Structure 1
Amino acid sequence: MSKVIRIGTRDSELALWQANTVQQKLEALGYDTLLVPIKSTGDQVLDKPLYELGITGIFTKTLDVAMIKGQIDIAVHSMKDVPTQLPKGIIQVAVLERAITHDILVHKGLNFLNSNDNATIATGSLRRKAQWLHQYPNHHVVDLRGNVNTRLLKLIENDWHGAIFAQAGLERIKLMPKDALVLDWMVPAPAQGAMVVVSNEDDLFCTEAAGKLNHKDSEITTTIEREFLRTLEGGCTAPIGALAEVNDQSVHFKGALFSLDGKQKIEIEKNVPLSKTAKLGQKCAQEVLQKGGETLMKEIRNENSALH
């Protein structure tokens, strides 16, 4: 195997952990690899919430450009950061076996949950903010940006009661607090906990090599969730959660759309045979749109336009 596969990655600790995992798996298969860390726009601009930046794929765009320019051969991403529409010429070649999908609350004590006092929770995610306010309407949610390590440090430095993270991310870099509260009521982001590998569609060597890392069930579930997101036209600008799980020969799907303030919630839940999952995400999203989601999405777009 003569070609060295150049693996593009963001340079945060979590992104490097993900890229190293892919590197180890490829090298175990006999491929030569090289890690190429690149700083993304999403990591550089920390003074604005993601949704205010108005850029699709803010954490992936820099790597897309590097791939199109021929500086890297494949890129490894947290799949929830990847736009549902990939740039022309770049294709998804593997979804690795998915980790746990839960969101968790890292906190300084949980007494505030049992009182009527106002509390302050931090997150940079519209989805997490809307669901938290749906559950705790008297709380205040502040914006929190940066990589995992930066966000944990900001929680320590500020007088917030807690901050919301993806469990998988903290576990991967061994920063999961023992007393973290699992938010099993919160619907995760589409493809949360999954890592994806993309490459140039005309690079047959790399698409074949990376394709060997694909985990079929994880590919099926993330495809359904991202279809749901794409049909609702969510991206990172609307509070949308989705989770599909394979149970034996069936798939259980749960999806939800929230208003920005968390007061409105439109959800859908379905069980379908594994053999009938084609366009499941799209069909579920269309049902949500018919149940008031279309009006709600228009309101969200108008509110986002006002923010910009």
Structure 2
Amino acid sequence: MAEKTIRIGTRDSELALWQAHTVQKKLNDLGYTTEIVAVKSTGDIILDKPLYELGITGIFTKTLDIAMINGDIDIAVHSMKDVPTALPKGVVQAAVLERANVLDILVHKGNPDFENQPSTVATGSLRRQAMWLNKYPHHTVVDLRGNVNTRMQKLQDSDWNGAVFAAAGLERINLTPENYINLDWMIPAPAQGAMLVVAMENDNYTLDAISQLNHIETEICTYIERQFLRTLEGGCTAPIGALVRYDEEEDTLRFQGILLSVDGKQKLEIDKTVAIEEWKKLGFYAAQEILNSGGAELMQTIKESLKK
């Protein structure tokens, strides 16, 4: 095997490092040589082209995309839900790892019975905010940013009743506290719980190595969810959830999708089960159904409200 050390780029948060080390171990087990490269923020990297020309959008993935385009790293590992549906020019999806827990959870302060009282819940996600307010219109939702550890600390230091997290992120770094509730009524972000590895499209050695980590069922389910997202949003952030589950016995896919107004007052949902053969356009058709039943107007309203 032509030896090349595969350089795995990562941000330096605990979760990002966990994800990078997980991929590193899988590659090492296959006999590949690897090294982890921690990549600093984009502020000090100057490119001769503006970012929009390269098609780079995602705030979490930008730094690593640039490092890869500049040739400083060979692959980047991301939480798939953070990755924009359009990848930068030259960057391709190399593998989707087997999915972990897809659920959102509410971490609370030891009093899970606050649902019927005026309460304050924190999240930085428009989707979680809208779904929470749809179910609990009498609650207050406040913004919460930062990596998992930072957000957990902010919750501890606050007078909030709870905060919403992705179960998978907390499980991966053993941060799941005793006080939590599974929010099984909340439709997760498209591709939540899945990890994505990206590489350069002309790097055949690396693509060949990474392709061995791909989990086909997860790849298909997340493809459909992201297709739904891309068809609905057209580059605009909106409260959108999607989840596809494969039923092996029936050989069917169940698709659940949702679009809400930012305040949670309007909700458009879809829930359908189709034969596995219909997977390629499932996300697109589901999004069209939502758009045709009031979703197009709702997306327009969301775009207007987020401009303000």
Q: Same fold (TM over 0.5)?
A: yes
Pick closer, same or farther for the CA change 1:195–1:235 going to 2, 3 Å.
farther
Q: Which runs of 5+ in 2 are unaligned?
A: 44-55
1:279 paired residue among 274, 281, 285: 281
Q: Distance in 2 between matches of 1:191 and 1:155?
A: 25
AA in 2 matched with 1:227: Q
Could you tell me whether the CA contact under 8 Å between 1:67 and 1:73 is conserved in 2? yes
Could you tell me whether the CA contact under 8 Å between 2:236 and 2:303 is conserved in 1? no
Q: Secondary structure of the equivalent of 1:99?
A: coil
Q: Distance in 2 between matches of 1:234 and 1:81?
A: 16
* Partner of residue 49, structure 2: none
Could you tell me whether the CA contact under 8 Å between 2:97 and 2:194 is conserved in 1? yes
AA in 2 matched with 1:287: E
Counting only pairs closer than 5 Å after superposition, residues 232-247 of structure 1 correspond to structure 2 as 232-233=232-233, 237-247=237-247
Residue 40 of structure 1 deviates from its aligned partner by 4.4
Q: Distance in 2 between matches of 1:298 and 1:40?
A: 33
Instruction: Report Cα offsets for 1:102-142 as digits up to 9, x if no partner.
Output: 000000111211x3x31100000000000000000000000
Counting only pairs closer than 5 Å after superposition, residues 1-308 of structure 1 correspond to structure 2 as 1=1, 2-40=3-41, 56-108=57-109, 109-113=111-115, 115=116, 117-233=117-233, 237-248=237-248, 249-306=251-308
AA in 2 matched with 1:297: M
Q: Distance in 2 between matches of 1:26 and 1:144?
A: 35
Residue 235 of structure 1 deviates from its aligned partner by 5.6
**Superposition TM-score, scaled by structure 2 size:** 0.93
**Superposition TM-score, scaled by structure 1 size:** 0.93
Instruction: Report Cα offsets for 1:36-94 as digits up to 9, x if no partner.
Output: 1124469xxxxxxxxxxxx9310001100000000000100000000000001000010
Instruction: Report Cα offsets for 1:127-176 as digits up to 9, x if no partner.
Output: 00000000000000000000000000000101000000000000000011
AA in 2 matched with 1:157: D
Q: Which runs of 5+ in 1 are unaligned?
A: 43-54
Q: How many residues end up aligned between the 2 structures?
A: 292
Once superposed, what is the RMSD of the aligned Cα atoms? 1.3
Could you tell me whether the CA contact under 8 Å between 1:40 and 1:58 is conserved in 2? no
Pick closer, same or farther for the CA change 1:22–1:40 going to 2, 3 Å.
same
* Identity between Structure 1 and Structure 2 (%): 63
Could you tell me whether the CA contact under 8 Å between 1:126 and 1:236 is conserved in 2? no
Runs of 4+ in structure 1 off by over 3 angstroms are 39-42
AA in 2 matched with 1:224: I
